[in-house]
Chains A and B, each alone.
Chain A
């Protein structure tokens, strides 16, 4: 058996000494102060708490810390430093895709996951890729358009 949980959080090695049964969502917000990770339901039904775990989109409310051991976790706070974020940022700004903003950190990481898998997605692929991230404000059009625009203008980044 092993001792502490080690993982890479936003590019930095971290050691978590708390319970392996704790929720990643709570640990990110409470232990590491990463409040860009939002809590919308704690039941895996809204995507507001989505982060990238080893490059894959996961709902951090559905992940216990033991599962994170040895992994790479990227939250919006780490992702915002990247060129890919800059491309999405510009596109989201130009379509006014951000309304209340609460779904946005999760949505942006979902967009990253879509583009990482398919740099030139069609609209249906984008909609399906974002389908686990609820947004109650926008009707999704502006967000979908923003992801399309980022894919076009950010050519080569993904």
Chain B
């Protein structure tokens, strides 16, 4: 293990451990106003009129007419209003906000706002959507010819459901507008995304916009784009009331129902096989975007680039669509489009192997990509692909081969067991040229005259430990004790825009910028003098420039790799499955703090297991999400997965700090396929969807 990997006490350990860390809901509420959103009860309707109840003194109603700038929340595109303008497009769409000094009274008044609607036809089912927000195509080789020459053709459609981030802290913001400056702080991943969004709704009304991140109780993507909405709405309310802070903190049901979640998907794969080898794939991916575009283009891009999996597919045609429905806009969730397609391709590999009479692992091994091979977008796997070794590690940890053989024999008795395996990657950092063209990260290190060193970056610690890993990098280069490096929750008045906390990029990209900045500071170090060094992103020159037009080039500079085995036991009397264990090998390059990285891996694996086995979310015939509480949307407890083992495999990336690559998202991505593979062995059935319900595995 490298010295940098040795674990330290996390920067934010103390205040989180003893309960003194302030999350947005923890700020004293004296003098604050509470905001409660008034939401659409219909999936699609025209607003005819809004009638307010009698508002006592000090209570306000805020809606589109109060927006001083543009009534638009900027995400990637500009189609989402801050407050509905004439029409509502999904259940829960904010129409207005009731603001007042007493929280209970405010909520009561919000419920008494009478909005008259004319109901319009709503499209809930992806299949019935006639609107493709995005429709991407790419191909390489000659897919048609490969299918014409094939001796076997497989076709299968896979579906995946919603997944709710279920962070323990709900969304919340506090905004105050004072002397033409607006300050918003709250639970968020991306201060500068929020900065842009708030700036747009306030326009010229705000001479200054300041965004601060509070301690954030988990994000997992759920606090990537959504906080831009809540912050924009809160800022407009703060602007209207002027001077007094406005606080909006969601309750759990509101959060589960009316915030973004993972895109449900429906993915059809056609595969040509000749002489036992895959010669072509023709893949059609569809994601349910909900009523607005939000992050769908980028989620979809990552999803379709990952569509052929970790395999060499010489001829490839991929289409990806994000379709509009009158449902809650979906968004970012750890894995960002890739879990849907990796689930599909990995389960398909099992199904094809079975149909061809092949061992699924051998079949996979024969098709694995290796260093120098072309990626799906005709980029190159520039660095070694360590999957063969990682597979061996997982086989040994899990006892896969013996168990697989044992469970293949007919199983009698009440319980049936199975073990399955999946392989995947996660492209490290932003997809395509986003880092170079849009983010253009800047980070800084400041030193005071008395030698105190502070890291200035806009990446937020949402539990993943970025304060710790950033501080370790800077401490290591400067030769200063880690404990002495300062790093605070980001405040856009103080930190440059080093980009958002997304895409498993913070450590790999910004961490490397900080490492270089620290080297620079060390070289220029002058005792007794205040100093500041800055570092700007530059794309590594080995990259084949990526073009979004034709999906050509290096979509990612490098990849994090994973292999995982899951073992299950199914009760034939009840259909209930039990996860006996999950064993994984992950390569995220050099772990910048072993504990931090293993914690990311373990947490991600359990989220993946939940996604596969128990996390069920559906809407009713009106488009209302039914699973809106922790008793209805079931996530794993400490008792559910007794064995969850992780091993780190290190394949260093020379352009990441000390060889580190992206880490956070990787562990979740392929877990569902390993789970389903195990379930298929246990039950003798085939599944092409997640989550798998007990109803489907009864009497096996």
Q: Chain A: residues with CB nearer than 8 A to chain B?
A: 29-30, 33-43, 45-46, 48, 75-77, 80, 85, 89, 92-105, 108, 123-124, 126-128, 130-144
Contacts and interface: CB of A to CB of B under 8 A. Distances in A.
B412 interface: no
Contact of A137 (B20, B218, B595, B605): B218
Given A80-B17, A92-B13, A142-B602, 19 more contacts: A29-B26, A36-B19, A41-B630, A42-B251, A45-B629, A80-B18, A96-B10, A99-B463, A99-B464, A101-B21, A102-B23, A102-B167, A102-B218, A131-B639, A136-B168, A136-B635, A139-B607, A140-B641, A142-B598
Query: Considering the complex of A and B, which 6 residue pairs feature the smallest CB-CB distances, nearest first?
Result: A36-B19, A101-B16, A100-B463, A102-B217, A139-B602, A99-B463
B368 to A, nearest CB: 27
A141 B637 contact: no
Main secondary structure of the interface of B (DSSP, over half): loop
B631 A43 contact: yes
A39 B25 CA distance: 9
A93 B596 CA distance: 11
Given A45-B630, A96-B596, A138-B603, A76 B218 contact: no
A140 B25 contact: no
By secondary structure, the A interface counts as loop
B42 to A, nearest CB: 26
Contacts of A135: 168, 638
A136 B637 contact: no
A151 B311 CA distance: 47
Interface size class of B (residues with CB under 8 A): 35 or more
Contacts, number: 172
A97 B251 CA distance: 26
Contacts of B252: 40-43, 46
A136 B167 contact: yes
A97 B13 CA distance: 9
A137 B603 CA distance: 5
A29 B462 CA distance: 23
6 contacts: A40-B252, A43-B630, A101-B463, A102-B23, A104-B16, A136-B168
Contact of A99 (B23, B465, B629): B465
A105 B599 contact: no
> Which interface residue of A134, A139, A140 has the most chain B CB atoms within 10 A?
A139
A134 B168 contact: yes
Interface in B629-654: 629-631, 635, 637-639, 641-642, 644
Contacts of B19: 34-37, 75-77, 80, 104-105
B639 A128 contact: yes
B75 interface: no
Contact of B465 (A77, A96, A136): A96
Contacts of A93: 9-10, 13, 17
B190 to A, nearest CB: 16
A148 to B, nearest CB: 13
A36 B596 CA distance: 23
A36 B9 CA distance: 20
Contacts of A43: 252, 629-631
Given A42-B251, A96-B596, A140-B606, A101 B217 contact: yes
A35 to B, nearest CB: 4
A128 to B, nearest CB: 6
A35 B19 CA distance: 7
B409 to A, nearest CB: 29
Nearest to A90: B9
A45 B631 contact: yes
Nearest to B15: A101
A85 B635 CA distance: 28
Contacts of A141: 602, 644
A46 B635 CA distance: 10
